A and B are shown apart, each in its own frame.
Chain A
Amino acid sequence: MENLKRRHPPQQKISSYSPPPPYSDIYESVSLNGDNCSGTYSTKEKSHRIYKDSQFSSRALYFLREYKHTIIAITLTAISLWTRFRKIDVSDIVVWDEAHFGKFGSFYLKNEFYFDVHPPLGKMLVGLSGYLAGYNGSFGFDSGKHYPPEVNFKFMRLFNATWGALLVPLAYLTATQFKMSQKASLLAATMVLADTAYLCISRFILLDSMLLFFTCLSLFTLSVFHNLQDQSFSKSWWLWLVLTGLSLGCVLSVKWVGLFAVALVGLYTAEDLWEKLGDVQMPKKKYMGHWIARIICLIVIPAIVYLASFKVHFAILRKSGPGDGQMSSLFQAQLEGNSLSKNPLEVAFGSNVTIKNVAYGGGLLHSHPHLYPSGSTQQQITCYHHKDPNNEWGIAEPRYEENQDVPEVDGIRYLKDGDVVRLVHLATGRNLHTHPIAAPITSSHWEVSGYGNASMGDIQDNWKIEIVKDLTHNDKNHLRSLSTRFRLRNVQLGCLLGSHNTILPQWGYKQYEVYCDKRNQTDNDKTLWNIEEHKNEKLPKPPKNTYKSKFLDDFIQLNVAMWTSNNALIPDPDKEDILASTPLQWPFVSIGLRMCGWGDKQFKFYLLGNPIVWWLSSGSLVAFSLLYSFYSIRAQRQINDMKPEKSENFFYVGKTLFLGWFLHYAPFFIMGRVTYLHHYFPSLYFSIFMAPFLLDHLTAKASARTQNLVFGAVFTAVIGTFIYFAPFAYGMMGPISSYAGRRWLTKWNLLDTF
C-alpha cells in the first residue's frame, strides 16, 4: 500500500530542545486505524480524523484530546460570533459600500439584470440573505439613507458577519495544521479575532467577509492536504484536494483577487510536482496520476464553480434591468420586458437605430455635444454602454456629388448589402464623419467625429454597409435588427468604423474610443456592428421571434466587460479620492478609512486595523526574510541549526505564508486601478500567521516561563488594543473629538483637524 510509506519512522523521538507540538506525530497511526473511520462525518470531524494519536493508549484520554480541540474551535467560534454580532444594527443607515452590494443583492430578488465588476457569487449570497430575511428587493440602498422598517437589514448583516466570524476557528485550525504550538495557534486565532479591521468589514453587507472566508478556507484546505502528502490517493487525500479546488472556485467567484489564492496553490502544487518528479522510485503511472488529480481538482473544479456561478446568475436575472447595455444585443432581446423584441425586423432608410459593436465588451455608438480637445476638435464620437437618447442614429440618404443621379425615393426603401448611407446623430444633428486625422488614442487609425448638419457636410459622411453574416437568416442581402452583423466602410477613405476597449481620458467621460480602421482586416470583430434598437413607425410589426444566445458567449461577453470596467477604475488625476490609498501605506497602518458621514449625531465607523496586530504582522514578515537569509547562509557554510524535519516544516510554513502575503499584496503595486485599504485584508491574513509562527520558532528553546511571559505579553497587547480601538468598529456616537486620544498617528484622518 502506497499510503503506508511514511517520511518519518513510526516512533518519532521528540526533540529534547522543543516542547512537543500537539500533533507532531499524527501521521503514524492513521492508516492503521483507517477502518475506524468509515461512516459519515461532518467536514470538521473529518479534519480531526487524522489527529488520532496512537501514543494515547486509553481511548478516554484520546477522546479528551480530541474533545479539547473541538471545544477550543467551538469556543472561539462562539466568542467570535459574539464580537461580530454585538450591536450590529446600531446604525440603521446604509453604510459605505452597502450602497453597492445591497443594491446588487436586491437585483437578484427582483430578477433584474445588472452589471458589476465583480463575479456574482458574493452578491448572490447577499441576495440569498435578503431572501431569507423576507426582503423583496424594493429598497434602493442609497448611501446614507435610513433602512425602512420592512427591510430586515439586521438579518442581512448577521448573515454577512457569520462568514467573518468563521475566520477565527479557521485560523486556529490552520495554525494547528501548520504544527504550531497550542499557544501560537491560539494567538493566531486571537489576532484574527482582535483585528478591528476584520471586525469592522465583516459587520456590513459587503463582499469582503465572504472573500476572506473563502481565502482562509483555501489556506486551511491546502494545509490539511499538505499534511496528507504521505497518504496519496487515499479517501481523505482526495476529499481535501477536492475541497481545496472548491474553495478556490468560490473565492474566485466572489472577487477576482481570488486569482492570487489560485496562484498560491498553483505555485505550491508546481513545487510539489517538481519534488515528486525527482523521486525516481515513483512509478510513472502514479506520477501521471498526481498530475491528473491536480488538473481535475485544482483547475477543472474551480473553473466549473466559476462557470456555474455565472450560469445561476443568468438564470436568476431573467428580466431586463440596468445592466442590459453591457451585453450583446441578442442576450438583451431574450430578457423579459426588453423592448428589443418590438423592433421592426428589417431596417430601412428613415429608421432610427442604435448601433452596437459586436466585439466582446463592445458598446453602443454614441455622441454628445462635447468636442475633441485635440485633432479636428469636432464633436466626439464614442462607444458607451449606458442607454440614453444620445445613442440614437438616423439612417439618411447619403451625400451625392453634383453630377451624381439622385435615386427616386418612393415609400419604404429597405437597406441592402452595399447601400451607402449617412448616419445622423439625432440629438445633435451631426453626421458620422471621418477624416485623415489621427484618432485621439490609437493614433495609427483615423479619427471619427460628428460633423456638419443636415445641409452642411461632405462626401466623407458617406458610409457603405457591408453585411458579413446573419445569425438567424441565411440571406446576407438584407439588414435585420439584432441578428445581422455588418461593417461600415467610409466611402471616401475606405476605412472601417471600429471601436475597442480603449478608454478615453476624462474629457471623453471614460467612454470607449471609436476610430476608422485603415487596415481593412476582414476577420476583426472590432469593426463589426449590429443594429440594437430599431424604431420606424412606417414599418410592419415584427414576427414573433425567439432569440437564443449561447451561454459561453454571454459568459465571455460579461467577463470582458467586467475586465474593461475594472481597468477603467483608474485614479482620476483631476480629483483626489479621499477614500483611496496606496499599497505602501497599508502594512504600516498609516491610513484609515471613514466608512460613513462624520456628523456628531450619527454612528461613525472608522475602518482601521488593530495597530498592534498589523505592526506585529508586518514586522514578522521582515523578521522571516532575515531569518530565511540567515539560515540559508548558515546552510551554505554547512551549519545546520534545525533537525531536518523541523527545518522542512519551518521552510514550508514560512514560504507558504510569505508567498501568500506577497501574492495578495504585490500585484496592487502594478495595478493601474484605484486601490483601497480593504484590498490588503486577504494579504493581512497570511502575515498574521507569521507572528505566532516566528514567536513559536524563536522561543522553542526557551523555558516554559519565558514562553508564557512572551506569549502573555503579546496576548495582552493584542487584546488590550482591540478593546481600546473597538469603538471604531462598533460605531462612535457623539463628537469625534472625544476619541482624539486614539489617533496614534497624525496621518489617520480620524479627526478633521491636523
Chain B
Amino acid sequence: MTDPALRKRRNYDENSLQNGSGINVDDYTDDTKKVNVSNLSPSKYSHLIGLSIVTIAGFFVTFYKIWYPAEVVFDEVHFGKFAGYYLRRTYFFDVHPPLAKMMLAAVGYMVGYDGHFEFDNIGDSYIENNVPYIALRALPASLNVFCIALMYSIMKESGYSVCTCFLTASLYLLDNAIVAQHRLIMLDSMLIFFMLATVYSYIRFRKVRHQEFSATWWAWLLATGVTMALTLSVKMVGLFLVAAIGICVIVDLWDLLDIKRGISIDHFIKHFYARALGLIAVPAFIYMFWFYVHFAILVESGPGDTFMSSAFQETLKNSAIKMKSLDIHYNDDIRLMHKDTEKYLHSHDLEYPLRYDDGRISSQGQQVTAITVPDDNSWWRIKPTKEISEDEPVPIIHGDIVQLEHVGTETILLTHDVASPLMSTNEEVTTVDLDERYNETLFQVLFDDHNNGDIWQTYMKAVRLVHMDTKVAIWTHPKNLPDWGLGHQEVNGNKNLMDKSNYWVATEIDGLNATEINLEKKKEIKTIPFIFKFVELLGRMLSHNSGLTKPHPYQSNAISWPLLSRGISYWSKDDTKEQIYMTGNVFGWYLSMVGTIIYTGAIIIDTICRRRDVAWIEEPLRRRLIQSAGFFILLWLLHYIPFFAMGRALFLHHYLPAAACNYLLLGAVFQYLFITSVDSPTSDLRRNQSALEEIHPVGPAHAQTSTQAQPTTKTYIIATIILALQFACFVFLSPLTYGSPGLSIDEVQRRKVFSGWDLQFAK
C-alpha cells in the first residue's frame, strides 16, 4: 500500500488542504508563485498566426465553387422558400424558430431579392428563376468561416497549445459533412456558429470568475446569455446547449455554496441572481423578441394559416377563413363537416337493418352517415329550443341547446342507448319525425375555444354536439358501413366527450355566398396580444415537431451517426453523373470516437484508482481533464444522447453540432496524450489581486518552473500525420461534398466506404 503513487496523491491532498480549497475549487495551488507570463507572449503571437491560417484556409474550403450547383439542393427546398415568405410578408409555418430564416431573408432583402421563387423541387434551376442564390449561400458559408475561427479560439482560451488549437480547427475545417451542410441554404451553420459562440463566451466568463461582478465578468456573462438565446432562436436543439450551460452553472453555484469558499449567503444569492438575469431573463427576452419580429413581418395570410387557430388567422390580412366565415343563426340550413376526417354529416331515406351480421339488433331508425362530397341530403337546420325573436335573426352562442333537423327528410337528429352498427360501445345515431321523443333530440353546441359572447360561425369555430340526454358526442370515424349503408362512413355517439376527434365545422349556409358578403363587409383585421400568439405558435411547433414521424428514405438512427454508416443524398445530376452526398470525414469521425473512448476510459480508470487511493492521473492534469475536456464531452453527450429518445424522423445532419463538440474533445485528448506536461492555469487573473499585477510578468526567477506545456517533435509529427490523413480523406470524398466533378461508376464504387452509403450512379 505504500507505493509512490499513493504518496503522490497524499501530497496533493495536503496541498489543497493548505490552501483551504476543495477538489473542485481549482485554485492552482502550485501556480500562485510561478506563473510565467513572459513565456506566453510568443505563443500569443503564434496563436495569431495559427488562427489566421485556419481561417483563411477555411474561407477557401467553404467558398470553393459555392455557385455550384446552381440548382435547389435538399432542404434548400424548405429554407429558401421560407426566406422568400419573409420577403413577401406571407404567413408560413415551420417547426423551427425564426431567427436563421430571417437572417437568410435579410440577405435576400439586401441583394434585392423579392422572394418570388417557390423552391418547389430539388434540382430546380436558380439561374432560370433568377434567384440570387450565391448571396443566400454566402451567409451560412461565411458563418462557417467564423465557426472555424471559434473552434480555434475555444481551444486557445481553454489553454491548449498552438499545435492542439491548430489541429482541432483544421480537423473541423476538413470535415466533409460540415462543409457540405454549411455552404447551402440551411440552418445548421447558424446553429453551430451561435453554439460555438456560446461555448466561447462561457469559457471566457469562467476565466474571469475571480473578478466577480466586474465589467468584463458581466460582459461575458451577458454574451453567454445572448448567444445562447440566438442558438435557441435558430433551432430547438439549442435546448441541449441550454441544458449543458445550465448543468455547468449549477455545478459552479454548488461550489460557490461550499462553506470552504468563505462566501456569505447574501453574496451567494447575488451570484445566483446575476446568473438568473444573464442566463434566463435576458435569453428569454431575446428569444421572444425574434418571434415578435416574425409576427411583425408576416402580416399576409399564407400557407401557414391552417396550422393556427381561427383567432390567430383573423389577425392576418386576407385570410381565407375570414373570407369564408359567416355568423350562423337559428333556422339557418348548414352543412357540418367532421374536422378530422373531412366528411359531411348526412342522412337519407334508408333505415338501419333490424339485425346486423354479428347478430346485434338496431332500432331500425333512419340512417345517419358521413359522406365525402356534400349533397342535398347534407343540409341541417338549427332549430331553437328557447323562445327567439321573430324579427331579426338570433345567432347561436357557446352552450346553446338546439335541435338539428334533417332538411331533406324533415326529420330530427337523435341518438339513444342502442349500439351503433359497427361499434357496440358507441350509441346509434338516427332521426325521428318532428316532435317525437323531444328530450332525446336535444344537443348542446360547445365551441373548441370560446370567449364570452362568441357567435358560431362557419369555418371559424369547431363545435362538439353533445347529446343532452345520454351525454355522448356526435362522432364519426374512418370505417364504412356495409352495402345497406351505401358504403358511407359510420356516424355514432362517442361516450368519450373529451375526444379530440369530436369536432365538427359548419362549412356553408344554404343560400348565402360567404365571399360576396364578406367582400362587401370588408372586415377589419383583429389583433391579439403578442404573448398569446407566441404561446400558441410555440405549442404548435412542439407538437408538429414530434409529429414528424413520416418515414423518409434517407432518415437514419442516432446510433449510426458517429459510425457514419449512412449518409444523405442531397442532390444529383444524371447527365454529368454529379452528386452531393452528405457524409462526414470517415477518418475524422472515427478518430473522434477513439478520442472519446480514450477519454472515458482514462477517467473511469482514474476514478477507480482514486477510490483505492492511487492517483493514476496527476491532480492538476485531472482537473484540466474534468473541467475543460469534461465540458466538451458534456456538450457532445447532450447534443447526441437526447436523439435516442426522440420519436421523430432523424437525419445525419442532426449530429453535426455533436460532431463539432466531438472535435473539441478530440483536441483535448490529443493534448493529454501527446503534450504530457501540465498546463498553465486558464484563468488569467486570480481573485483578490488586481488585474494590473497579473499582467506584469512575475520575473525571471520563476522561468524554469513554468507550467506552460511544450509540444515535442513527436507531437508535431503525430499532429502532421493526423492532419494529412484528414486532408487525404477530405479530398477523396470531396466530389461528393462539392457536387463536382462527376464520377464514373468505378469511382463512385470506390467512394462507397460503407455498404450503407446509398450513392447515386453506383451501378
Which chain B residues lie closer than 8 Å to A753 at the CB level? 471
Interface check B31, CB cutoff 8 A: no
Interface check A444, CB cutoff 8 A: yes
Given A443-B552, A636-B257; A519-B755 close (CB under 8 Å)? yes
Judging by beta carbons under 8 Å apart, are B553 and A578 in contact?
A: no
Identify the closest chain B residue to A521 (Cβ): B755
Which chain B residues lie closer than 8 Å to A754 at the CB level? 471, 497
Looking at the complex, which one of A443, A574, A633, A636 makes contact with B477 (CB distance below 8 Å)? Answer: A574
Interface check B600, CB cutoff 8 A: no
Interface check B654, CB cutoff 8 A: no
Interface check A278, CB cutoff 8 A: yes
Interface residues contributed by chain A, number (CB under 8 Å): 22
Looking at the complex, which one of A438, A442, A575, A638 makes contact with B259 (CB distance below 8 Å)? Answer: A638
Which chain B residues lie closer than 8 Å to A623 at the CB level? none
A727 to B471 alpha-carbon distance, docked (Å)? 26
Judging by beta carbons under 8 Å apart, are A277 and B553 in contact?
A: no
Interface check A745, CB cutoff 8 A: no
Interface check A441, CB cutoff 8 A: yes
Q: Which of A602-647 contact B (CB under 8 A)?
A: 633, 636-638
Judging by beta carbons under 8 Å apart, are A575 and B471 in contact?
A: no
Which chain A residues lie closer than 8 Å to B613 at the CB level? 280
Judging by beta carbons under 8 Å apart, are B496 and A670 in contact?
A: no
Judging by beta carbons under 8 Å apart, are A444 and B553 in contact?
A: yes
Q: Which of B608-627 contact A (CB under 8 A)?
A: 608, 611-613
Tell me, rounded to whole Å, the shortest Cβ–Cβ distance linking A268 to chain B. Answer: 18
Looking at the complex, which one of B1, B257, B470, B496 makes contact with A576 (CB distance below 8 Å)? Answer: B496
Identify the closest chain A residue to B499 (Cβ): A576
Interface check B478, CB cutoff 8 A: yes
Identify the closest chain B residue to A637 (Cβ): B259
Identify the closest chain B residue to A506 (Cβ): B478
Tell me, rounded to whole Å, the shortest Cβ–Cβ distance linking A525 to chain B. Answer: 18
Judging by beta carbons under 8 Å apart, are B477 and A274 in contact?
A: no
Which chain B residues lie closer than 8 Å to A575 at the CB level? 477
Judging by beta carbons under 8 Å apart, are B259 and A441 in contact?
A: no
Looking at the complex, which one of A280, A438, A444, A574 makes contact with B1 (CB distance below 8 Å)? Answer: A280
A753 to B470 alpha-carbon distance, docked (Å)? 8
Which chain A residues lie closer than 8 Å to B259 at the CB level? 636-638
Interface check A402, CB cutoff 8 A: no
Interface centre among A280, A442, A670, A753 (most CB of B within 10 A): A280
Which chain A residues lie closer than 8 Å to B425 at the CB level? 578
A576 to B426 alpha-carbon distance, docked (Å)? 12
Looking at the complex, which one of A278, A576, A636, A637 makes contact with B611 (CB distance below 8 Å)? Answer: A278
Tell me, rounded to whole Å, the shortest Cβ–Cβ distance linking A111 to chain B. Answer: 32
Q: Is the interface of B mostly helix, strand, loop or mixed?
A: loop
Tell me, rounded to whole Å, the shortest Cβ–Cβ distance linking A500 to chain B. Answer: 14
Judging by beta carbons under 8 Å apart, are B553 and A443 in contact?
A: yes
Tell me, rounded to whole Å, the shortest Cβ–Cβ distance linking B21 to chain A. Answer: 14
Interface check B551, CB cutoff 8 A: yes
Interface check B210, CB cutoff 8 A: no
Looking at the complex, which one of A438, A444, A633 makes contact with B257 (CB distance below 8 Å)? Answer: A633
Judging by beta carbons under 8 Å apart, are B257 and A277 in contact?
A: no
Which chain B residues lie closer than 8 Å to A519 at the CB level? 755
A754 to B468 alpha-carbon distance, docked (Å)? 11
Judging by beta carbons under 8 Å apart, are A438 and B471 in contact?
A: no
Which chain A residues lie closer than 8 Å to B611 at the CB level? 274, 277-278
Judging by beta carbons under 8 Å apart, are A578 and B495 in contact?
A: yes
Judging by beta carbons under 8 Å apart, are A578 and B257 in contact?
A: no
Judging by beta carbons under 8 Å apart, are A443 and B551 in contact?
A: yes
Binary CB contact string for chain A from 267 to 280 against chain B (1 if under 8 A, 0 otherwise):
00000001001101
Interface check A752, CB cutoff 8 A: yes
A754 to B471 alpha-carbon distance, docked (Å)? 8
Tell me, rounded to whole Å, the shortest Cβ–Cβ distance linking B257 to chain A. Answer: 5
Looking at the complex, which one of A280, A441, A636 makes contact with B551 (CB distance below 8 Å)? Answer: A441
Q: Which of B283-301 contact A (CB under 8 A)?
A: none
A578 to B645 alpha-carbon distance, docked (Å)? 27
Which chain A residues lie closer than 8 Å to B454 at the CB level? none
A754 to B467 alpha-carbon distance, docked (Å)? 12
Looking at the complex, which one of A443, A578, A636 makes contact with B254 (CB distance below 8 Å)? Answer: A636
Interface check B30, CB cutoff 8 A: no
Tell me, rounded to whole Å, the shortest Cβ–Cβ distance linking A633 to chain B. Answer: 7
Which chain A residues lie closer than 8 Å to B471 at the CB level? 752-754
Interface check B376, CB cutoff 8 A: no
Identify the closest chain B residue to A639 (Cβ): B259
Tell me, rounded to whole Å, the shortest Cβ–Cβ distance linking A659 to chain B. Answer: 20
Binary CB contact string for chain A from 426 to 455 against chain B (1 if under 8 A, 0 otherwise):
000000000000100111100000000000
Tell me, rounded to whole Å, the shortest Cβ–Cβ distance linking A640 to chain B. Answer: 12
Identify the closest chain B residue to A275 (Cβ): B611
Tell me, rounded to whole Å, the shortest Cβ–Cβ distance linking A456 to chain B. Answer: 27
A438 to B477 alpha-carbon distance, docked (Å)? 28
Identify the closest chain A residue to B608 (Cβ): A277
Identify the closest chain B residue to A280 (Cβ): B613
Which chain B residues lie closer than 8 Å to A443 at the CB level? 551-553
A752 to B427 alpha-carbon distance, docked (Å)? 14
Tell me, rounded to whole Å, the shortest Cβ–Cβ distance linking B729 to chain A. Answer: 25
Judging by beta carbons under 8 Å apart, are A280 and B612 in contact?
A: yes
Tell me, rounded to whole Å, the shortest Cβ–Cβ distance linking B473 to chain A. Answer: 11
Tell me, rounded to whole Å, the shortest Cβ–Cβ distance linking A496 to chain B. Answer: 15
Binary CB contact string for chain B from 167 to 191 against chain A (1 if under 8 A, 0 otherwise):
0000000000000000000000000
Looking at the complex, which one of A278, A438, A637 makes contact with B553 (CB distance below 8 Å)? Answer: A438
Which chain B residues lie closer than 8 Å to A277 at the CB level? 608, 611-612
Binary CB contact string for chain B from 558 to 578 against chain A (1 if under 8 A, 0 otherwise):
000000000000000000000
A277 to B496 alpha-carbon distance, docked (Å)? 57
Tell me, rounded to whole Å, the shortest Cβ–Cβ distance linking A140 to chain B. Answer: 18
Identify the closest chain B residue to A284 (Cβ): B612
Identify the closest chain A residue to B494 (Cβ): A576
Identify the closest chain A residue to B472 (Cβ): A752
Judging by beta carbons under 8 Å apart, are B612 and A670 in contact?
A: no
A110 to B555 alpha-carbon distance, docked (Å)? 49
Q: Which of B211-261 contact A (CB under 8 A)?
A: 254, 257-259
Tell me, rounded to whole Å, the shortest Cβ–Cβ distance linking B97 to chain A. Answer: 25
Tell me, rounded to whole Å, the shortest Cβ–Cβ distance linking B607 to chain A. Answer: 10
Which chain B residues lie closer than 8 Å to A637 at the CB level? 257, 259, 265
Given A277-B612, A280-B612; A636-B258 close (CB under 8 Å)? yes
Interface check B758, CB cutoff 8 A: yes
A378 to B552 alpha-carbon distance, docked (Å)? 21
A753 to B468 alpha-carbon distance, docked (Å)? 10
A578 to B499 alpha-carbon distance, docked (Å)? 10
Identify the closest chain B residue to A754 (Cβ): B471
Which chain A residues lie closer than 8 Å to B478 at the CB level? 574
Q: Which of B420-471 contact A (CB under 8 A)?
A: 425, 470-471
Tell me, rounded to whole Å, the shortest Cβ–Cβ distance linking B401 to chain A. Answer: 15
Binary CB contact string for chain B from 52 to 80 against chain A (1 if under 8 A, 0 otherwise):
00000000000000000000000000000
Which chain A residues lie closer than 8 Å to B612 at the CB level? 277-278, 280
Which chain A residues lie closer than 8 Å to B496 at the CB level? 576, 578
Identify the closest chain A residue to B551 (Cβ): A443
A752 to B417 alpha-carbon distance, docked (Å)? 12
Tell me, rounded to whole Å, the shortest Cβ–Cβ distance linking B552 to chain A. Answer: 7
Identify the closest chain B residue to A672 (Cβ): B647
A724 to B13 alpha-carbon distance, docked (Å)? 63
Q: Which of B526-582 contact A (CB under 8 A)?
A: 551-553
A280 to B258 alpha-carbon distance, docked (Å)? 27
Judging by beta carbons under 8 Å apart, are A444 and B499 in contact?
A: no
Binary CB contact string for chain B from 745 to 762 against chain A (1 if under 8 A, 0 otherwise):
000000000010010000
Q: Which residues of chain A have a CB within 8 Å of any CB of chain B?
A: 274, 277-278, 280, 438, 441-444, 519, 574-576, 578, 633, 636-638, 670, 752-754
4 pairs of A and B residues whose beta carbons are closest in the complex:
A443-B553, A638-B259, A277-B611, A576-B496
Q: A274-B611, A753-B471 are in contact. List 6 more A-B contacts (CB 8 A).
A: A280-B1, A443-B553, A576-B496, A576-B499, A578-B496, A636-B259
19 residue pairs A–B, Cβ–Cβ below 8 Å: A277-B612, A278-B611, A278-B612, A280-B612, A280-B613, A443-B553, A519-B755, A574-B478, A575-B477, A576-B496, A633-B257, A636-B257, A636-B258, A637-B257, A637-B265, A670-B645, A752-B471, A753-B471, A754-B471
